[in-house]
């Protein structure tokens, strides 16, 4: 992800004002005929439908489910207590996931009420979108950084179980996670306010003759000006190194767990209930990190030069970019929404606590 091509798309809010007018201008040139090689163009009408389905239907539904699941996850984890480092990290992960999902959820209401570019920086609409921007980047940065901490903690727990309490304690983990939130959200708030002071609606609307539609709504969300610092930092957070680190860590953990189970079963004749809890925790966190790896790989590939070069010379390249950005957001939303399901399916302690809470709530009615 180097060069100008990679500057167009940096998740979660992919922004490039230099390409804004070129993208919007496709609205008046809607090719309906296939290419000479038989390839069919992505027309503006089709892009409008695709973006509408994603922004107004699919993303808010999944986001709503994800927010509810993350809230329930926080309640269950708090009931278990924060005396374990992995519980602290899972609570932080649920909070950052909810931040990003809230951005996607509330933005759908903004565009369904009739999208309009905010003309003034002191308008409610502009401030609202800027708040969503902070939740977008801040939550996304923390959410996609947590799997690195989780896998690191699990590697220490598996290979150095006797020294884990000295190396990683709940207090140390809480301080590290709090610092991560403070740094990322403070940095994004500062950059958002600074960029907001330079907001120029006329520069965005120059040479525009077409009406505002869903394509423009998606472009505005994904094309707000952003500093080079954010762009370069996003390349690091959502780049190949975190993906490879988490993936190979998951492979090592999976092998270690398999060997430990085989050894334990051989020693106990298959009755290894005493240490099954540690295996369940590691397996659950392993699945969480594997889902992150899959979704992050898709995001990285969609933003890679290989994919961009594939359609860059097409006449409908900008429409493809608009739709592809929302597909990227879809995988990010999925990544932030599935953890509750993973906990319920993979971890018996979590599932039992959740069912106890549901039964207690029903008894109180």
Question: In angstroms, rounded to a whole number, what is the distance separating the alpha carbons of residues 193 and 134?
Answer: 10
> What domains does the chain contain, in order, with CATH numbers?
3-25+42-363 (1.20.1070.10)
CB atoms within 10 A of CB 58: 17
φ/ψ (deg, to 5) at 120: -125, 145
CB 346 within 8 A of CB 288: no
CB atoms within 10 A of CB 283: 17
Question: In angstroms, rounded to a whole number, what is the distance separating the alpha carbons of residues 109 and 195?
Answer: 24
Question: What are the tens digits of pLDDT across the range 64-112?
Answer: 999 999 999 999 999 988 888 889 999 999 999 999 999 889 888 777 7
Question: What are the tens digits of pLDDT across the range 112-166?
Answer: 766 666 666 667 777 888 888 888 888 988 999 999 999 998 888 888 877 777 8
User: What global pTM score does this model have?
Assistant: 0.79
Task: Please report the DSSP string for 285-299 in residue order.
Answer: HHHHHHHHHHHHHHH
């Amino acid at each position: 992800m180097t060069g100008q091509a990679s500057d167009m798309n940096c998740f979660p809010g992919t922004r490039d004002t230099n390409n804004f007018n070129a993208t919007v201008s496709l609205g008046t040139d809607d090719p309906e005929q296939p290419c000479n090689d038989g390839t069919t163009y992505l027309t503006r009408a089709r892009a409008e439908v695709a973006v509408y389905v994603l922004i107004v239907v699919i993303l808010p539904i999944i986001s709503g489910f994800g927010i509810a699941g993350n809230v329930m996850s926080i309640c269950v984890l708090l009931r278990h207590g924060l005396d374990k480092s992995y519980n602290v990290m899972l609570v932080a992960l649920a909070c950052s996931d909810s931040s990003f999902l809230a951005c996607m959820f509330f933005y759908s209401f903004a565009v369904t009420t009739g999208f309009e570019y905010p003309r003034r920086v002191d308008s409610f609409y502009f401030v609202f979108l800027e708040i969503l921007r902070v939740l977008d980047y801040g939550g996304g940065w923390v959410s996609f950084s947590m799997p690195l901490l989780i896998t690191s903690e699990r590697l220490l727990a598996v290979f150095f179980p006797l020294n884990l309490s000295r190396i990683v304690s709940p207090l140390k983990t809480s301080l590290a996670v709090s610092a991560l939130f403070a740094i990322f959200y403070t940095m994004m708030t500062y950059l958002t306010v600074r960029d907001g002071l330079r907001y120029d609606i006329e520069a965005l609307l120059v040479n525009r003759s077409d009406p505002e539609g869903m394509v423009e709504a998606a472009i505005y969300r994904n094309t707000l000006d952003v500093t080079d610092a954010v762009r370069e930092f996003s390349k690091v957070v959502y780049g190949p190194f975190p993906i490879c680190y988490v993936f190979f860590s998951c492979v090592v953990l999976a092998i270690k767990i398999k060997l430990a189970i085989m050894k334990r079963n051989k020693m106990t004749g298959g009755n290894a209930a005493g240490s099954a809890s540690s295996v369940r925790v590691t397996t659950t966190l392993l699945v969480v990190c594997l889902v992150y790896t899959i979704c992050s790989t898709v995001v990285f590939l969609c933003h890679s030069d290989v994919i961009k070069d594939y359609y860059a010379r097409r006449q409908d390249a900008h429409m493809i970019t608009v739709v592809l950005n929302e597909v990227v957001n879809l995988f990010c939303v999925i990544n932030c929404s599935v953890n509750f399901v993973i906990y319920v399916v993979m971890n018996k302690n979590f599932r039992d606590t959740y069912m106890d809470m549901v039964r207690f709530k029903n008894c109180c009615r």
